[in-house]
Chains A and B, each alone.
Chain A
Amino acid sequence: MKKFLKILLFISLISNLNYVKVFAESSAELLKVDWSFKSFFGKFDRASLQRGYQVYNEVCASCHSVKYLSYRNLAEKGGPEFSEEEAKAIASNFEVIDGPDSTGEMFTRPARLSDKFVSPYANDQEAKAANGGAYPPDMSVLVKARKGGADYIYSLLLGYDDPPADIKLDDGVYYNKYMYGNKIKMSSPLSDDLLEYSDGTKATTEQMSKDVVTFLMWAAEPHLEQRHKFGFRVIIYLVIISILVYFSMKKIWSRIESKI
């Protein structure tokens, strides 16, 4: 039994080592943030999520869609937890095309809670045409779609710099320390005091980056808080039942002369 556990531990150590090596190949060391949603009991910082939504809405949303989020999600538990009225008010700022109506015509109406987030462009082609041929990726699962996750997006937002002398950049291409290949077609989206937070927090670039990444993490994993809560309960339950079964096993095996 002891030997078995030792070997298991050894295997897990080795696999961790491999994991670190496999994934540590990016060009620059990512900036690390002590995210509130990491760790066992990790939860989203509610105020940060609400500010993050504001950054998304006022900055990112002009180019990036989050097509898998619905306005109702903004009022759901584990998210930014706007009140239902606030979420309704947010939704009503957007126009969606609905129809056909009884006369066969399509019409526009203000968005409702049940609508998906309205995309800035009608289709991918329009998005590309408006952005010099680069498609601004949908942000619904962006954090999960990038190696390094939240740290990577955060680093990227703060990674704009003057290019080294040996790198020539075309028009509309920018240098970023953390981007794959160091060239990015998005200009630095954030700058100090770009917007005014409604809760009075000072809008530094770091603060906005942190808030918007928190928001994007939630957008990618809207059930993260529930998952962490469940996980803790499940593991506690498993540990307790394992102990009980262990002693039952000892008792049963004590009937015969053998070790387990």
Chain B
Amino acid sequence: MSDHDYQPSSKLGKWFNDRLPLLTLSNHLQEYPTPKNLNYWWTFGGILTFCLITQIVTGIILGMHYIAHADLAFESVEHIMRDVNYGWLIRYVHANGASMFFLAVYIHIFRSLYYGSYKSPREVIWIIGMIIYFLMMATAFMGYVLPWGQMSFWGATVITNLFSAIPFIGESVTNWLWGGYSVDNPTLTRFFSLHYLLPFLILGLVILHIWALHVPGNNNPIGIDIKKPSKDTVPFHPYIVIKDLFALLLFLIVFAFFVFYSPNILGHADNYIEADPLVTPAHIVPEWYLLPFYAILRSVPDKLLGVIAMFASIFVLVILPWLDTSKVRSAIFRPIYKQFYWFLVADVLILGYMGAMPAEGTYLIIARVATVYYFLHFLVILPVLGRKEKTLDIPLSITEPVLGGYPNQATTKNNQNIKEKL
């Protein structure tokens, strides 16, 4: 990369940098050439980093007061809410922070889907991202178990029971996961331990995610390869830093509304009832961000196949760079893909809604259709579309449409289209 010949100005800095090139790294992060046409959908990477740090910091503080024991967990959460100084604030930030984290990650993923950011040469960034997403779901699920309310307990029971669908060894695996013959204290203590561990794995993967990003550089709304650095790019600092900060502040306003004015709206009322293995809640529903997967799981009549379908729905995302055969990245130049993209968004929203409804009657039928369409999108539509679709002409650089300079007649019409769409 261009900035590797960086020399610190002070003698001490040079001495240190020769031994550990932290100053080179810092310089690289500041100078990192970023496409100047990134829109606000690109600010969610920074927002997500903020979310992760917030969850880790609030989580560590909660961990100082929380007691991972089946008889004491619920009470210790109430202790945090009532008697720990600003405990209510820290817990509500942590609980709503999880929802905000997922809101941001879904926007981040769907941005990537729209602008084709997962395509060559960024497949590794995408795959690391998917592993992060998977770990996030595992972490969030285990975190939801910790307050040991009714939904915690029964959610844990439903999800861990999925492993009993594995042929032959299912039951042993489930007992091994539980540390007993049902969800009980050993399950809670190991979930606490893992809930504390996984965020740090995520942090490590985030560093790899960013490292992998800094090799080819950012994709951009028109999805073309750009020369770096050039008139198409701006240094990360201060241009992108200030823009990310502005977007983060807007995001925090939404965040604050949830924390201060409806802190329990995203949770389930039943989780304020202490876990009782003898009373099953009327509807067992996971947190909102897991609902689409829950809908897929329940729409398959066979338990084992349902579990396979659920994991497959994530796995198709991992192999997406090879399923989407189109060489053109951005949906701006793919008129048909763009339509299917919005169908997919609608499909996932429908799945999420069906996940919250009881799995019966019309709901179940709609969930099944939506599940089939989900796989159809990735396994059939994308591979075929990549070969058949007639894409629009692609501009040569970012600066042309931005500055409005059209070098030749052929691209003029196109560029006007782009201008409207950006």
Interface residues of A (CB under 8 A from B): 1, 4, 14, 18-19, 21-22, 40, 68, 73, 137, 140-141, 144-147, 149, 180, 220, 222-223, 227-228, 230-232, 234-235, 238-239, 241-242, 245-246, 248-249, 252-253, 256-260
Contact = CB atoms under 8 A, between A and B. Distances in A.
A259 B239 CA distance: 11
Given A68-B82, A227-B263, 4 more contacts: A4-B41, A141-B272, A238-B253, A252-B242
B65 to A, nearest CB: 14
Nearest to B37: A258
A145 B270 contact: yes
Contacts of A19: 265
Nearest to B250: A242
Interface of B: 36-37, 39-41, 75, 78, 81-82, 88-89, 92, 234, 238-239, 242-243, 245-246, 249-250, 252-253, 256-257, 259-261, 263-265, 269-270, 272-273, 282, 349, 353, 356-357, 402-403
Nearest to A73: B82
B253 A239 contact: yes
B40 A222 contact: no
Nearest to B283: A25
B260 A234 contact: yes
A245 B260 CA distance: 23
Given A4-B41, A234-B256, A245-B246, A258 B269 contact: no
Contacts of A18: 353, 356
A92 B175 CA distance: 50
A100 to B, nearest CB: 22
Chain B interface mostly: helix
A22 to B, nearest CB: 5
A145 B272 contact: yes
B272 A249 contact: no
A256 B36 contact: yes
A14 B336 CA distance: 25
A145 B265 contact: no
B260 A144 contact: no
Given A223-B88, A249-B242, A147 B269 contact: yes
B26 to A, nearest CB: 20
B260 A231 contact: yes
Sorted nearest first, the 9 A-B pairs with minimum C-beta distance are A231-B260, A145-B272, A242-B249, A4-B40, A144-B272, A141-B272, A258-B36, A249-B242, A68-B78
Given A145-B269, A248-B242, A252-B242, A40 B249 contact: no
A211 B19 CA distance: 70
Contact of B256 (A235, A241, A245, A253): A235
